[in-house]
A and B are shown apart, each in its own frame.
Chain A
Amino acid sequence: MYDVAIIGAGVIGGMIARELSFYNLKICILEKENDVAMGATKANSAIVHAGFDAKEGTLKARLNVKGSKMMPEIAKALGVKYINNGSLVVGFNEEDEKTLQGLLERGNSNGVEGLKVLKREEILEIEPNIGKNVTCALFAPTGAIICPYDLAVSAIGNAMDNGTELKCNFGVESIERKNEYYVIKSEKEEICARYVVNAAGLYSDGIAKLAGDDSFNVHPRRGEYVLLDKECGDIISHTIFVTPSKMGKGILVSPTVDGNLLLGPTAVDGEDKSDKSTTSEFFASIFGIAERSVFGIPKNKTITSFCGLRSVGSTGDFIINTPKEGFVNVAGIESPGLSASPAIAEYVRDILKESGLRLEKNENAVMTRKSMHVFREASVEEKNRMIKESPSYGRIVCRCEGVTEGEILDAIRRNPKATDLDGVKRRTRSQMGRCQGGFCSPYIIELLSRELNLPYEQITKFGGESYVATGKTKEIKK
């Protein structure tokens, strides 16, 4: 019997798990995929928003501003890369400037600090490559960038170090209320928990329905991105938004914490919750759109492109409530969900407490986690000490991103353990460089196979049927 079962191992489920793991509770996270951070968490804009977008008085506004204030400290505790690079919302005419003025006022009343509307000359001083027709911009000094899957992996790792269990490939099929607890079943397994937190992202409406709550729906809003080579990472230093429209914050241009340049996302409402395909229309238009905000983005430096699905709830605000005793929805967490995640975790903790969950501090719990970038960021002396202790740190496996065998082994061995190629990728940055795993993936498969004690051909790219090899050579039968 668990005290709390959290459904969904994205950044929201992960941050809630981490928060609850500081108390004497038996917790498990149920994830339908083969790894954590597989939904919206792995494919979004990677921004910590200052908090001027959301309408005053909404949960979005409140939790965004609070969460973004909490983020630096949490990122530090978890060793997650966070850069307070500031953001600019650019405008192209007087009407935009009016909208920006409105955003500034909204930001002020939301409690965002330091907002300022800049004229073109002032923008040029801090961002010389700004688009040629940009006339004004809302500057938010508290805007920041972070790696969202790094945050989710690290938060879940932290929770697991405190005793939280993670069950991957656990697709919830039924939720049944018994006297004082819930029985949650997957195809193969069942668990019991006194409290359930529904952080299932796009699928949270379905999960709520399984528990008897059909008060909301969630639909996917597709967002396509391209990621450019690190050579382009320093074209700009701030995150550049355009003046927002009804469909969202528009196409942004942003450096990432790893030094790449990110362009996107589109915003197209869809129905298929599994359709993460990119479109040729996107490739045809993205550079032209981005060029309006930032001047001189090279068109031939694409490293990869992807599509993320935002979880758009039917209420317009985050849906965080208790429709049934002991059952908490944390749904419709679209932007600014990542920014709000630390505040959401505390908010959910308090809801659980109000619902009767006994919170008693776990004196042995840790709040920190050794960073996944320890080796990468160490001094030469420190690195040499580590190589001496563990020679695998001396061997570079991924040449493009300079990732060592030691770091890959860490990713496979530490909580939450990577069990597929993409899991290793998200934890180490291997396969994320220019060659996209062309050179290193055959060897990483070998490391996974050895560490997990699985045959080479059973290693997958991201679980399920995503096998990397279909069998041995000389084996194909007619």
Chain B
Amino acid sequence: MTELVIIGGGPAGMSAAISAYENGITDILILERDDSLGGILRQCIHNGFGLHKFKEELTGPEYAYRYEKKVKELGISVKLNTMVLEITKDKRVIATNSDDGIFEIEAKSIILAMGCRERAKGALNIAGTRPAGVYSAGTAQKLVNVKGYMPGKEIVILGSGDIGLIMARRMTLEGAKVKAVCELMPYSSGLARNIEQCLNDFNIPLRLSHTVVELHGKERLTGVTIARVDEKRQPIKETYEFIPCDTLLLSCGLIPENELTKGIGAEISQITNGSVVDQNRETDIEGVFSCGNVLHVHDLVDYVSEEAEIAGKGAADYIKGIDKKTVRIPISTDGKIRYTVPQIITEQKDVTLYFRTSGLYRNVKINVYADGKLALSKKKQRIAPSEMESLKLNKNIFEGVSELRLELEELQ
């Protein structure tokens, strides 16, 4: 029996482990599928990580190393090159690696920290040929930053997610020509600072309301046809434009990797594609917690680490038998607010609620209703789907309440 098993040794897994340790749990095992800790940060060699957490600008590997060092100092056990195959409802973790073969660990508590993956090209239904030269932005990032190979020389990027923007700059710095970044929506899904630093600084055109409608080339990509889209996101025939290129990078969204979570039978939100959790990031399976990009996709790693600390403490309390669950208050949203994390409150304590909107809004009020009565209201000048928002809820709000609702009010 291991007290706490953490699935994933990226920023979420490491931060959760350290937090659990600091809250009194020492029997911890991190299972990591790659050959070292750090997760996706290992290939994120650009800077800008840790501004909130450390008040410093770190690169991805530097940020990860701070945590890795701490994990080692604390003597937390790690199994690398280890893939978890299945987690059962009674918290047995079945995993495999070359040294141990297929093995099973019984855990008192489990923290899910498997991260997310990119939406693949197949899911985009792009017409045309199927040549080499089409990559997700993260795959290209790995090729360039870790393996040291260029995926191509003339690039078009579909999707203005942060990885796509970062790769636009990266490929440019490596001598490739980035011809355009196309974004289906009328706004970018990436951080404002990345638009500035990765596109504008290099004169890379961002084509909003544009998509790739066809791939060309039989063996290697020879070009793409792009088009403007109408309000219903349908391509407009008259605007078809051929751009010669040998590479198309896709940055079209991230999807939490919840195959294991589904296996345990934990409830998955249709909106976040992650578990439904309470304020401690505990799923509806007792003792199973979830944090980081496997729970919902974050824009900054600092928030991932912070969320993982909450899950680490939650797991530690669970293992120690501390149970403060006194209420059960689900939080609903109005659609303009797409989702909140947590989605349910089970404990009467101060809670920071994280949320995202479904569109770009200016001059709005975020209203929190407790059993239909306005309990809290906060003004916002600008609110965008790409930037996660938060709201502090005082524990008094939960007093005698059976449900909460978050609504976005557009002010005139």
Listed in ascending order, the chain A residues whose CB lies under 8 Å from chain B are 226-227, 274, 276-280, 282-283, 300, 302-306, 380, 383-384, 387-388, 391-396, 399-400, 402, 404, 434-439, 441-442, 446, 456-457, 460-476, 478
Contacts and interface: CB of A to CB of B under 8 A. Distances in A.
21 contacts: A277-B127, A277-B128, A300-B123, A303-B120, A393-B98, A394-B96, A394-B97, A395-B98, A396-B85, A396-B96, A435-B117, A436-B121, A438-B138, A438-B139, A442-B142, A467-B220, A469-B149, A470-B151, A472-B148, A473-B148, A474-B175
A462 B220 CA distance: 10
Given A436-B122, A473-B148, A475-B150, A278 B132 contact: no
Given A302-B123, A436-B122, A461-B132, A441 B139 contact: yes
Give the 7 A-B CB pairs with smallest separation, nearest first.
Answer: A476-B175, A304-B122, A391-B98, A394-B98, A436-B120, A469-B149, A461-B132
Contacts of A475: 150, 175
B152 interface: yes
Nearest to A405: B98
A476 B149 CA distance: 11
A394 B82 CA distance: 8
Contacts of A464: 219
Contacts of A476: 150, 153, 174-176
B139 A394 contact: no
A348 to B, nearest CB: 31
A394 B122 contact: no
B83 A278 contact: no
A192 to B, nearest CB: 31
Given A460-B132, A467-B220, A434 B127 contact: no
Interface in B146-193: 146-153, 174-176
Contacts of A391: 98-99
A290 to B, nearest CB: 14
Given A276-B129, A434-B117, A383 B101 contact: yes
Contacts of A303: 120, 122-123
A77 to B, nearest CB: 29
A302 B139 contact: no
Contact of B33 (A274, A399, A437, A467): A399
Residue among A402, A463, A470 with max Cβ neighbours from chain B (10 Å): A470
Given A391-B98, A392-B98, A442 B128 contact: no
Contact of B132 (A227, A439, A467): A467
Contact of A442 (B97, B143, B214, B246): B143
Contact of A394 (B100, B146, B151, B255): B100
Interface residues of B, number: 53
B96 A468 contact: no
Contacts of B152: 470
Contacts of A404: 96
Contacts of B218: 274
B156 to A, nearest CB: 15
B220 A471 contact: no
Given A439-B117, A465-B219, A476-B174, A306 B101 contact: no
Given A437-B139, A473-B148, A478-B175, 5 more contacts: A303-B122, A388-B101, A438-B135, A441-B139, A466-B219
Contacts of A470: 150-153, 246
Contact of A384 (B102, B125, B127): B102
A439 B139 CA distance: 7
A396 B123 contact: no
B136 interface: yes
A384 B121 contact: no
A124 to B, nearest CB: 28
A305 B150 contact: no
A431 to B, nearest CB: 10
A470 B247 CA distance: 10
Interface string B214-250: 1100111000000000000001000000000010000
B246 to A, nearest CB: 7
Interface string B186-219: 0000000000000000000000000001110011
Contacts of B174: 473-474, 476
A223 to B, nearest CB: 14
B93 to A, nearest CB: 14
A218 to B, nearest CB: 20
A67 B325 CA distance: 65
Contacts of B122: 227, 302-305, 436
A466 B100 contact: no
Nearest to A303: B122
Contacts of B143: 442, 469
B228 to A, nearest CB: 15
Given A399-B83, A438-B120, A471 B127 contact: no
Contacts of A280: 127, 213-214, 235
A437 B130 CA distance: 14
B81 interface: yes
B118 interface: yes
Contact of B101 (A304, A384, A460): A384
Contacts of A435: 117-118, 120, 136
Interface string B85-126: 100000000001111111000000000000001101111010
Contacts of A387: 96, 98, 101-102
A472 B147 CA distance: 9
Contacts of B125: 226, 283, 302, 305
Most buried by B among A302, A384, A388, A395: A395
A337 to B, nearest CB: 23
Contact of B220 (A393, A395, A465, A478): A465
Q: By CB atoms of chain B within 10 A, which of A226, A277, A306, A464 has the most? A: A277
Nearest to B121: A436
A276 B257 CA distance: 32
B147 A395 contact: no
A198 B148 CA distance: 44
Nearest to A301: B123
B33 A466 contact: no
Nearest to B85: A402
A211 to B, nearest CB: 27
A278 B131 CA distance: 12
B127 A395 contact: no
B153 A396 contact: no
B138 A473 contact: no
B411 to A, nearest CB: 34
Contacts of B102: 380, 383-384, 387, 394
B144 interface: yes
A434 B120 contact: yes
Given A435-B118, A442-B147, A473-B149, A462 B132 contact: yes
